[in-house]
Amino acid sequence: MLWLIERDRKEILLLQLSSTRGLCFVDLCLLGQIGIATGTGLLQEVVYLVSQGADPDEIGLMNIDEQLPVLEYPQPGLDIIKELTSPRLIKSHLPYRFLPSDLHNGNSKVIYMARNPKDLVVSYYQFHRSLRTMSYRGTFQEFCRRFMNDKLGYGSWFEHVQEFWEHHMDANVLFLKYEDMHKDLATMVEQLVRFLGVSYDKAQLESMVEHCHQLIDQCCNAEALPVGRGRVGLWKDIFTVSMNEKFDLVYKQKMGKCDLTFDFYL
């Protein structure tokens, strides 16, 4: 699978992947993600809060991205990951088959968040439009066609999500859905607590859930984030009837044999 368009960037990534083969990931909690627009920004704060028992007010003052480096990025690179103390929290865009062997062998924990693809493609389009480095100026219709044809930078969403879903019953994998964060956040926090092997009293859990609700509200608040990328059902504001019909057809063709389901609106 071709991950990035630029030849030099691809070569850097291949070098990074080869470097991970000998890296031990015992006690690592990896946030597997299917792209920039999956809600991983929210999830990483929730996971950091739960795993570290951190003060929500202190997290608000942190650059949380510095606490969770990206496995395959050349900067800051693997050296910073090797220096982290256990349990290490690391993010990745990689498909399951490219993850280090320690994760396949069950020596590390993987948290994967998936988002319904209609909201994801809208959010991903808006993300591309918002960054100068991306400079995407095409139409949403063209962007959506590229998504359906597996022509975007991180490869096929359909293959990526199905690969992880095949392992969702593995003891070291926790497969989460973005929409469930909005439907029942308390249950998701409890899932994370059990999966990470930590314990908190009722008051602490309630405080965590309340803080996480505030994070979600900030993400979905139109005034705080004009593009509103965090809303569930975002796609209904931009999909035409014909686009929706075409998307449903492609989705059925590519996901028809998979029993994974999504909430496309709440």
Sheet harboring 173-177: ordered strands across? Answer: 89-92, 29-33, 109-114, 173-177
Closest alpha carbon to 17 in 141, 101, 121: 101
> Can you tell me the distance from the alpha carbon of 13 to that of 3, in angstroms, rounded to the nearest whole number?
9
Q: Are 28 and 87 in contact (CB under 8 A)?
A: yes
Q: Are 235 and 152 in contact (CB under 8 A)?
A: no
> Can you tell me the distance from the alpha carbon of 40 to that of 244, in angstroms, rounded to the nearest whole number?
25
Active site residues: 93
Amino acid making up residue 169: M
Using CA atoms, how far residue 69 sits from 75, 90, 183, 193, in Å, is 9, 5, 29, 22
